[in-house]
Amino acid sequence: MKLFKSLWGMEAYTYREAFGKIAAAGYSGVEAGVPMKEHRTEFGQLLQEYNLDYIALISTSGNHEETFKANLETAVSLDPTLVISHSARDCMSEERQLQFFEYAVEAEKHYGIPVGHETHRHRAMFTPWTTARLLQAIPDLKITADFSHWCCVCESLLEDQQENLQIAFERTIHIHARVGYAQGPQVPHPDAPEYKRELEAHELWWEHIWNARISKGFASTTITPEFGPPGYMHTMPFSNEPVSDLWEVCLRMADRLRNKFA
């Protein structure tokens, strides 16, 4: 298992400060969007200096094929372990979504880098059933599993989605280890006893993914404890103060993952 730390929520740090803190905490790498052109050389040098791997995060908009290709090409220049893509739109027709993902798979093959399309709200893979249809139609299509979004969209712990979950397990190449619940994509703290059921459900799903990867002969699985800052994190009324410390929450989830999947 390789644990990555998202730079999301660390915007107050310089790259050097963030990379130093991430390396000292024992993470294997960083997950982040592609830096602005003027910062890419520094970004690449710091990855080498701190011996950190890189997972690139990209997204599509407008002409989704064109932006996917352009963003993928830029990401590849930084030699990432894999690319996560927020792809297409939930409001597209199924025919249009299939057209996009067929194109995306061919572009992925051309650039020779694994791409996991994230199961994210607002995007084509925003539900278990739409994702399953896409995966069934395109055998080489792969995902980044963030099932916290599906809990929110489906207002459940997906008890009636076992068949759709199974194909998602089989096609996952990266995990976003955030815990969602029926009314939102992120619990206030994964150790809170009132969210024990949610935590156990997510850990079981991640275990299924882990086992599917092992059965296919993969030596490791990449995971990002991707709890997010306010907006995702709950805050106190009026003061907007976060109810939990984001860095500590991600560290706590990283420790749980190490203990569970060591």
10-residue mean pLDDT profile of the chain (262 residues): values are 97 97 98 97 98 98 98 97 98 98 98 98 98 98 98 98 98 98 97 98 98 94 98 97 98 96 80
- pTM of this structure: 0.97
What integer pLDDT is reported at residue 261 of this predicted model? Answer: 84
The 3-class secondary structure across the chain, one letter per residue, is CEEEEECCCCCCCCHHHHHHHHHHCCCCEEEEECCCHHHHHHHHHHHHHCCCEEEEEEECCCCHHHHHHHHHHHHHCCCCCEEEEECCCCCCCHHHHHHHHHHHHHHHHHHCCCEEEECCCCCCCCCHHHHHHHHHHCCCCCEEECHHHHHHHHCCCCCCCHHHHHHHHHCEEEEECCCCECCECCCCCCCCHHHHHHHHHHHHHHHHHHHHHHHCCCCCCEEECCCCCECCECECCCCCCECCCHHHHHHHHHHHHHHHHC
